[in-house]
Amino acid sequence: MADCPSTRIGVAGYGYWGTKHVRVLTSLAGVQVTVIEPDEERRRRARADHPEVGVVRDLDDMLDGLDGLVVVTPPATHARLAIKALGAKVPTLVEKPLVLLEQDGVAVVEAARAAGVQLMVGHVFAYDAAVRKLRDVIASGELGRVLHIDCARLNLGRYRQDCDVVWDLAPHDISIVAHLLGELPATVSAWTHRAAVRAAHADVAHLRLDFAEAGVSAFVHVSWLAPEKVRRITVVGERKTAVYDDLAGDQRLRIHDVGVDLSDHDAATDSGSPVVHRCGDIVSPPVPGAEPLMVQDAHFVDCVRAGTPPATPGEQGLAVVRVLAAADRAASTGAPATVARRHTAAGAGWGRTSVEVAS
């Protein structure tokens, strides 16, 4: 926006992911970035990496001079920083997971409503053209009725101190599948495991998310302890199957014309196979290559400038936190847990993410 010379965006946290936010924000026209970082060595690195950005130690030193804040700190600190910024009427983008406790999520959403400013959650895959294309493919009926969804998000992960692998990685899969189906799961089952000796939290987990309206279950496998990196979502339909593989370069989305049909299997004699395989073409539709984080942060800046609501509002962050909290309950009881809906349905806008974000 050439006639808006400088939108002042603070980035709290210059760790692994904060460096990426600063890279994309500093590349946007008319954005002036200030890094807020308590660690001296990281402040020094921010100045060295980006001599043009401001660098301060504490959010209090900066709050008056910000048009927007991006919170990229450890999840346990999100609620305090967001409530402080929103209380000062600063629109705020908070990385996933929005918070680590349901009541903190409610407080953050209420703080944004009370201040009348935007709260956005960093569900970055809502800004991924391949995910949006996959949602359109499902909605077009090309796959037929969705029968099953399988998600895998595995690698030798960065072990976090303040949350387990479910809270770290599953927000991506929960938000992606909610965007694909346009609804939240009604119940969650979870099996968590502390596989590495001395791991503070579960580092391997399997979830089952049951979507009532779609009548579909999604199975989610997350791990910090896998030698090979996997970022894959498979949507099995009655007619075709779509595979979204975030690591597959320019073929991130592939539609397989495969499936099974009932055969003339004789149940009485149990002879022959009950199904026959159908194998057809594999098609990889083109998807724009824009970096999702760039699209997300540009959208946040646009919302700040225009005063418009974001495509991934805080309510979506709270909704995902409620699913994660249900997963905790399910893992501890061994029984499926119901996802709480209070305060979340209104404004979460899962179906609305066709929001026209520039890509």
Ligand X SMILES: NC(=O)c1ccc[n+]([C@@H]2O[C@H](COP(=O)([O-])OP(=O)(O)OC[C@H]3O[C@@H](n4cnc5c(N)ncnc54)[C@H](O)[C@@H]3O)[C@@H](O)[C@H]2O)c1
Give me the residues that bind ligand X (CB under 6 A), please: 12-18, 36-39, 42, 59, 72-75, 77, 81, 95-96, 122, 124, 168
Residue closer to ligand X, measured from CB, 77 or 251: 77
Residue closer to ligand X, measured from CB, 73 or 312: 73
The distance of closest approach from Cβ of residue 70 to ligand X in the complex, given in angstroms and rounded to an integer, is 10
Residue closer to ligand X, measured from CB, 17 or 224: 17
The distance of closest approach from Cβ of residue 96 to ligand X in the complex, given in angstroms and rounded to an integer, is 6
Long-range contacts of 100-106 (CB under 8 A, 24+ apart): 100/75, 100/76, 100/162, 100/163, 100/167, 100/321, 101/321, 101/325, 102/318, 102/321, 102/322, 102/325, 102/340, 104/78, 104/79, 105/79, 105/314, 105/317, 105/318, 105/321, 105/322, 106/318, 106/343
The distance of closest approach from Cβ of residue 344 to ligand X in the complex, given in angstroms and rounded to an integer, is 20
Q: Of all residues in this chain, which one has the CB nearest to ligand X in the complex?
A: 15
- Alpha-carbon torsion angle 123, 127, 130, 131, nearest 10: 40
The distance of closest approach from Cβ of residue 46 to ligand X in the complex, given in angstroms and rounded to an integer, is 9
Residue closer to ligand X, measured from CB, 122 or 185: 122
Q: Which residue has the tokens 């008056």?
A: 64
Q: In what order do the strands lie in the sheet with 216-223?
A: 275-283, 253-262, 241-245, 225-237, 146-156, 216-223, 204-211, 187-193, 337-338
The distance of closest approach from Cβ of residue 186 to ligand X in the complex, given in angstroms and rounded to an integer, is 25
Residue closer to ligand X, measured from CB, 96 or 132: 96
